[in-house]
Amino acid sequence: MTVPAEPERHRRSGRRSARRPQRKRGPVETTIGVIGELLITAGILVGLFLGWQVWWNNLVLSGQQTSAAQEQSKKWVDEATATPRPTPTDSTKPVAVDPPVMAQPADYEPFAVLYIPRLGPDWKRTIRQTVDVEKVLNSYTAGVGHYPDTQMPGEVGNFAVAGHDSGWGNTFIDLSKLRVGDHIYVQTKDGWYTYVFRNFEYVQPTQVQVIAAVPRHPDVQPIDRLMTITTCNPPFHAGERLIAYNVFQGFSPTQDVPEEIRAAVMGG
């Protein structure tokens, strides 16, 4: 026996009755929901803004620090080039002598320009006296500071400097890329001091003996000319310090720009 089909209108009526009615949200729930959505949106916008600000500020600051170093470096070279050098004679032939060593400059004074080709073909920073955070490391015209109780470029002992790894221009964010044998150039008004990278060390922030005249041996009399670079590690944290040790290789007058960085110095 065939069961008669249910009339269409009855089926539609049954489906409607089977649906559960949706409960309307009260004014409190609606308000809380709107506030929650606004907070999420605000959080996303703040995160994007902070990320953009950090990236953009570092980019701008790095460019300003590079430009300041370029200006100072080129000025010294131009001044030296404008002064004719004496024609070499038997009495003026170069002899093996100790490199010139300048006196300790005044606090915050810019006295050198640092070139590290491994960090980029145009990487350069001005070195100022002291490692004051606000006036030196965060400066728009510096980025690298000299520990005032350490030696000067070319001097027997340890010429020690510091800079941020991240933030305020990301000065030494790529310092860990150094390879044994890489050249590091320090320019002063007297000329070019060339150092060669030797090795890294990772230490706690309290281990200040790394900037002693003989690193880690403050009571030992120095006989070598060293350079030590310190920065925070890992990037964007300050849990430890990355130390780069370098040994002195040689000195040349200001007008004798090292070929490896000639383009970076002369701007071409």
Complete DSSP assignment for 114-167: EE-GGG-TT-EEEEEEB--IIIIIT-TT-EEEE-TTSPPTTSSEEEEEEE-SSS
Kindly state whether residue 35 falls inside one of the protein's structural domains. no
Domain total in the chain: 1
Judge whether 140 and 63 are in contact, CB under 8 Å: no
Kindly state whether residue 29 falls inside one of the protein's structural domains. no
Q: Give the range with max mean pLDDT: 59-68, 165-174, 225-234.
A: 225-234
Kindly state whether residue 112 falls inside one of the protein's structural domains. yes
Residue 226 has pLDDT above 60, yes or no: yes
Kindly state whether residue 39 falls inside one of the protein's structural domains. no
Tokens of residue 100, six digits: 């010139």
Kindly state whether residue 40 falls inside one of the protein's structural domains. no
**What CATH number does residue 230 fall under?**
2.40.260.10
pLDDT digits (tens, 9 = 90+) for 153-174: 999 999 999 999 988 888 999 9
pLDDT digits (tens, 9 = 90+) for 189-208: 999 999 999 999 999 999 99
What was the pLDDT predicted at 59? 72
Tokens of residue 148, six digits: 């005032």
Decide which of 59 and 232 is more confident. 232
Residue 73 has pLDDT above 70, yes or no: yes
Task: For residue 94, name the pLDDT band (cuts at 50, 70, 90).
Answer: very low
DSSP 61: H
Q: Tell me the average pLDDT across 233-238.
A: 80
Kindly state whether residue 18 falls inside one of the protein's structural domains. no
Closest CA to 177 of 106, 229, 236, 237: 229
Tokens of residue 49, six digits: 């803004």
**Lowest pLDDT segment from 7-21, 60-74, 134-148, 223-237:** 7-21
Residue 186 to residues 36, 123, 198, Cα–Cα distance (Å):
56, 12, 16
Q: Where are the alpha helices (DSSP H) in the chain?
A: 8-18, 27-82, 262-266
Handedness of CA 29, 35, 38, 44 (dihedral sign): negative
Kindly state whether residue 235 falls inside one of the protein's structural domains. yes
Calpha distance 79→83 (Å, rounded): 7
Which range marks the domain in which residue 88 is found? 55-266
Q: Kindly report the pTM of this predicted structure.
A: 0.77
Closest CA to 162 of 228, 98, 224: 228
Amino acid, res. 158: N
**Exposure class string for 90-103: b at 16+ Cβ within 10 A, else e:** eeeeeeeeebbbee
Kindly state whether residue 242 falls inside one of the protein's structural domains. yes
Tokens of residue 233, six digits: 């590690």
DSSP 99: P
Task: For residue 19, name the pLDDT band (cuts at 50, 70, 90).
Answer: low
Calpha distance 99→122 (Å, rounded): 26
